[in-house]
Structure 1
């Protein structure tokens, strides 16, 4: 099956009450762990690439690795740019074979966000590529995205209809309480998603696919393993998986997962090296990291996203 856009994926996900996993990729082992898990449970995938990943691995290497994963698994895979900061970055990814891009104009005024997003949409649609826009600002840090808690803001439902109609975007990322990175909440603070905002956005945009960024759960077991093997991570609380499953049953058709993948890889490597300090073969210590990612992604697909059996 060739690399695809997310358009048909989202239509099926919206109608079926599940979400597609959008997993950030940085190297071969991460891509293998994700796609092998999806193949095992027959799930469609979005593999997304951030600005940091493109700088680290280079665009051409990631493209070829994803193409190899598609050939190996036969799954429908969408290649997505995560948090494109300007038109030139989006254009480069579109011209380079991506089937989906996100233009993140959330740091700009509402009017400038519309102008910038519309520019990307026109270029992308002329070339058969879909576009994700964003309204609202998520707190947290992810590669080049850094928004303080003070500067974060929830999506305003009264803006979504105008934004979608004027830009022509294919999906919309909204801010309802998720955040980027592993450190999502202060000690004693309970995670809470604003489902009232999600419901109002869904009412105003019936049938339209919604996206959640910053949706890693920061699994305590992975944090514990890292800390027991030389790490110094503070206690971290992510988004409870039952809340994400509730979102996936509604208008949310794409849920982004990055931090959990990093934790899974790091936990596997640290645990292996603590037990085998004399080993220096990357194949030996990267294998448990890849295995951890496979286990994590399978759980996300089956128990959080509900997209198993939907490829």
Structure 2
């Protein structure tokens, strides 16, 4: 069932689990994410950022909405890392049920100004908005935007930001980065900082850059109050690596020969994330 974003995250917040937000960039990936979410009876967020939207196009969204309507689990369609008010208008027109506005690379006051403008318009239409405060790192050129240096979210700034913007959820910076971590770099999340922010806000908190982090750190972040975790690089890497292996056979050309193995690899990773986030079986709560 197609579900408004606030409803999806409020339940997760009340029951202390995190909903996976899987970034998809073609229909096969979308289909695979929906199948594994239904198999595990887990709510799911279908996340599409502007670059992905430029690839799949407007007509694609009608198929996504129809599949979401028909689903046996709650589904939110989320515009990820929106940059400005114009992108909000596009998201609203094509049927997204959740919106992120990311002005985190701007100064605090400018971030508030940009985010507030989107919140005012979105709330008129009943669309919830996720903001971001602090900076997420960026590990490679294939990843979403990020900063060369992580600026951690301060609890007092988070309280002020939410009061000024009235965002429905907040993406915070506690040590993650977009992309895949090289073997030489081990991320370490500031869990106590997360607890302080959650205690100060008590609204759904979001973790970006959730791919490739140690499972024990992600599980602890969920226990401490993260309610949405974005997964993009992990599932895309699994999907396309298996596809490269299949395509090594020059005789292969049909989708039903190429894609099933790729989707199985992706779904294995997605299933692991769903279990890790404590989201399996939680569709019954909606």
Task: Give the structure-1-normalised TM-score.
Answer: 0.86
- Answering whether residue 195 of structure 2 is matched by residue 199 of structure 1, we say yes
Secondary structure at the counterpart of residue 131 of structure 2? strand
Could you say which residue in structure 1 is the equivalent of 2:243?
A: 269
Tell whether the 8 Å contact from 2:179 to 2:209 is kept in structure 1 after alignment. yes
Residues 300, 111 of structure 1: CA spacing in aligned structure 2 closer, same or farther, 3 A cutoff? Answer: same
Could you say which residue in structure 2 is the equivalent of 1:76?
A: 74
* Distance apart, 1:185 and its partner CA: 5.0
**Counterpart mapping for 1:1-311 below 5 A:** 1=1, 3-61=2-60, 63-140=61-138, 141=140, 145-150=144-149, 152-182=150-180, 184=181, 187=184, 189-205=185-201, 207-217=202-212, 239-274=213-248, 276-302=249-275, 304-311=276-283
Query: For 1:96 and 1:32, how far apart are their aligned partners in 2?
Result: 19
Residues 132, 9 of structure 1: CA spacing in aligned structure 2 closer, same or farther, 3 A cutoff? Answer: same
Of the structure 1 ranges 44-53 and 8-17, higher mean CA displacement relative to structure 2 is found in 8-17
Query: For 1:124 and 1:111, how far apart are their aligned partners in 2?
Result: 20
Tell whether the 8 Å contact from 2:144 to 2:179 is kept in structure 1 after alignment. no
Tell whether the 8 Å contact from 1:101 to 1:129 is kept in structure 2 after alignment. yes
Residues 170, 243 of structure 1: CA spacing in aligned structure 2 closer, same or farther, 3 A cutoff? Answer: same
* Distance apart, 1:95 and its partner CA: 2.4
Query: For 1:159 and 1:179, how far apart are their aligned partners in 2?
Result: 21
Query: For 1:60 and 1:74, how far apart are their aligned partners in 2?
Result: 23
Could you say which residue in structure 2 is the equivalent of 1:230?
A: none
Secondary structure at the counterpart of residue 146 of structure 1? coil
* Distance apart, 1:53 and its partner CA: 0.8
* Distance apart, 1:213 and its partner CA: 0.3
Could you say which residue in structure 2 is the equivalent of 1:221?
A: none
* Distance apart, 1:173 and its partner CA: 0.2
Query: For 2:216 and 2:67, how far apart are their aligned partners in 1?
Result: 30
Secondary structure at the counterpart of residue 289 of structure 1? helix
* Distance apart, 1:143 and its partner CA: 6.0
Tell whether the 8 Å contact from 1:132 to 1:173 is kept in structure 2 after alignment. yes
Of the structure 1 ranges 49-58 and 286-295, higher mean CA displacement relative to structure 2 is found in 286-295
Query: For 1:95 and 1:70, how far apart are their aligned partners in 2?
Result: 17
Of the structure 1 ranges 281-290 and 81-90, higher mean CA displacement relative to structure 2 is found in 281-290
* Distance apart, 1:290 and its partner CA: 1.3
**Number of residue pairs the alignment of both structures matches:** 282
Of the structure 1 ranges 141-150 and 130-139, higher mean CA displacement relative to structure 2 is found in 141-150
Tell whether the 8 Å contact from 1:31 to 1:65 is kept in structure 2 after alignment. no
* Distance apart, 1:80 and its partner CA: 0.5
Query: For 1:212 and 1:59, how far apart are their aligned partners in 2?
Result: 27
Secondary structure at the counterpart of residue 147 of structure 1? coil
